Amino acid sequence: MSYQVLARKWRPRTFHELAGQAHVVRALTNALDQQRLHHAFLFTGTRGVGKTTIARIFAKSLNCETGVSSTPCGQCSACQEIDAGRFVDLIEVDAASRTKVEDTRELLENVQYAPSRGRFKVYLIDEVHMLSTHSFNALLKTLEEPPPHVKFLLATTDPQKLPVTILSRCLQFSLKRLPAALIAQYLHQVLEAEGVPHEASAVQNIARAGDGSMRDALSLLDQAIACGGGRVESVAVSEMLGSIDRRRVVALLEALAAGDAPAVLRQVAELDQLSPDYAAVLAELLALLQRVALAQVLPDTAAEDDRIDPDDVLRLAGRLMPEDVQLFYQIALLGRRDLPLTPDPRGGFEMVLLRMLCFRPATSEVVASASAAPRMATLPAPVVPAPTVATVPHPMPAPPASIPAQPASEWGALIERLGLTGVAKQVALHCALVEREGDRFQLMLEPSHAQMLGDSVKARIKTALEQHLESPVTLTFQTGTVTATTPARQQAEQQAERQQAAARNIIQDPHIQEMQELFDARVATIHPLDETDE
C-alpha cells in the first residue's frame, strides 16, 4: 500500500477532531442540530487552517444516512464516499483552474436536478475569489434563488476580492490562524499515534515554522521524520528549517548591550558559517527584544516563553535601557523589511547591527539648576504676513550642578555611583531612603513601580551597594505611599523648575520681545539647555 502523507492521513473527519476554530464549529453545530440551514456558506482564512476540511465535514453532516446532525456516523456509504472523495453529490471545484464563465455555466447546468445519492447536492468551490466577473454574475442568479436541495460551500483566502453581491448572500465564517502551542499539541498527538520518537523542542520549532497553518506544520513534520531517519530531533529540524540556536541571538544582543562592535562582528562571522537566513535571524532578535521589553515592565513574564531562558531575559532586561530596547526593535524591524534590497544579506545584516550601535541615545545627567539657558530653534525668514515662528537661541552658560543636602539627593547621588542600569536603576530611582544605619538600608518603593521589583532586581541593587561600599549590606524594600522625595521625583521637579526658568528668560529677553513685535511672532517651543548640550 502506498504511503499516505500525514496531512491527508490525519485530516479531521468530524467536528470533534478539529483543532481550534471553536467559534466556527459551535455555529455550524447549532445550525445542523437545530435544522436552521442556510443555502450558502463562505469560509475565509489563510492557508491550511481548515476551510475545505470543515466544508467536507459539513457536507457529510448534511448527507449522512442516519440524518442531518453535527455528528455524522462515518460508517454509512455516504460518509465513507465523502471521506474518499468520490461522493457523486459533492461537487468539488478549484476555481483557480476554472475561472471562465463557460466553466461556471457548465457547473451550474445540473443545479435544478435532484441529488442522485444524497439528501443535498453540495457545491464546494475552493479559492472562489479566482472566478472572473462574468463567472460571479452567472453564480449570483443561482445564489439568489437556489433550489431547496442545493447547498453552496465557498472557501477563499482573499475575501476582499469577492463582490459584495456574493458576500451579502452567504453566511461568512472567518477561520483564525492556529496558535503555535495548539499546533504543537496536535503534532505531539500525531507522533504518539504514529510511534515516532521525538524531542519536544523540535516539535515546537516545527509548530512555529507552520506559521498558523496546520497543513504546513504536518507537511514539515513529514519532512522532519524523513530527515531524522524516523525520528524528530532538534538538530535535524534546525538544519532542515535553517533556524539557529537561540543562545547565539542572546550572545549577539549581549554584545550590542555592551556596545562592543568587535564582539558583534565576531558573532556575525560565526553565524555566517552556518549559512543562516538573516531575515530569520532578525526575526529571532525581534522576538528576544520583545521578551526583554516585557520583562522590563513585568519581570514575572520572563518565564512565559519556554524558548528563551528566563535568566537570559532578566539579565538583558537589566543591562539594556528601555529606550535602547525600543530603538533596537525598531531598527531590526525596518532592517528586516529592507534586507531583500541589499546586495549581500550578510552585509545588510551587519549594517542593521551597526545602526543599533551608532544611533543609541546618549544618556545625560539631570542638572540641578533652575537657571540654565534655553535652547531654541532658529528663526526662519518670514514669507507671509503674521507668520508663526520659533525663536533665535541666546545660550548662556549654565551654573555648575550642585546637590542639595537632603536625603533624596544623597540617595540619588549614591545610585549614580552604583552604575545601575535598566530596571534596577528605575526601581532605585523611584525609592526613598527611609532609614540607613551603617550597612543597613531600608527603602520605600512607590506603588506604581511595585511590579518591577523582582528578586533579580533586589539582588542587583544589593550587589551594587556591596561592591560600592566594599562590605556586606542588609537591604529591605517596602511598598507604599512615599512621603519623602524620591530621586526620580526630585529630577522631575528640577526639570520643571528649569523649564519654568527658561520660559521666564525667554519672555523677558528684549531680543525676543523685539522679534515678536516686528513679525507678530510667537514662541513655539522652549527647551532648557543641559550641560551636555553646551
pLDDT of residue 524: 67
Across residues 461-486, what is the average pLDDT?
Answer: 88
Q: What domains, with CATH codes, occur in the chain?
A: 6-174 (3.40.50.300), 180-241 (1.10.8.60), 246-358 (1.20.272.10), 407-484 (3.30.300.150)
DSSP string, 68-92: SSSS--S-SHHHHHHHHT--TTEEE
Per-residue pLDDT at 395 exceeds 70 = no
Cell digits of residue 502: 527658561
Query: Quick one: which H or E segment has residue 402?
Result: none
Q: Which residues pair with 435 in a beta bridge?
A: 442
| Each residue's pLDDT tens digit, 94-153 | 888 877 888 788 888 888 888 888 899 999 999 999 888 888 888 888 888 888 999 999
Cell 519623602 sits on residue: 484
Count Cβ atoms within 10 A of the Cβ of residue 528 and give its class: 0-12 exposed, 13-18 middle, 19 or more buried: buried
Report pLDDT for 185: 92
274, 346 contact by CB (below 8 A) = no
Strand partners of residue 94: 126
CA 37 and chain centroid, separation = 38
Query: pLDDT for 336-355, tens place per residue?
Result: 999 999 999 999 999 999 99
The predicted pLDDT at position 252 comes to: 93
pLDDT at site 108: 84
Among the listed ranges 2-6, 163-167, 276-280, which one has the minimum average pLDDT value? Answer: 2-6
Which of residues 186 and 446 earns the better pLDDT score?
Answer: 186
pLDDT of residue 1 exceeding 70: no
294 bridge partner residues? none
Q: Where is pLDDT greater, at 508 or 531?
A: 508
* pLDDT over 70 at 404, yes or no: no
Residue 465 identity: L
| Nine cell digits for residue 172 | 461568512
Bigger pLDDT: 391 vs 88 = 88
Q: Is the confidence at residue 330, as pLDDT, over 80?
A: yes
Spatial neighbors of 261 by CB under 8 A, at least 6 apart, are 354, 357
Convert the pLDDT of each residue in 200-238 to its tens digit.
Answer: 888 988 998 888 999 999 999 999 999 888 999 888 888
* Four-residue CA torsion sign, 251, 254, 256, 262: negative
- pLDDT value of residue 407: 57
Most confident of the following: 269-278, 378-387, 402-411: 269-278
Rg (CA), the chain: 33
pLDDT digits (tens, 9 = 90+) for 362-379: 543 333 333 333 333 333
β-strands 527-528, 374-375: how paired?
A: antiparallel
pLDDT at residue 397 above 80?
Answer: no
Taking the C-alpha atoms of residue 329 and residue 44, their distance in angstroms, rounded to an integer, is: 32
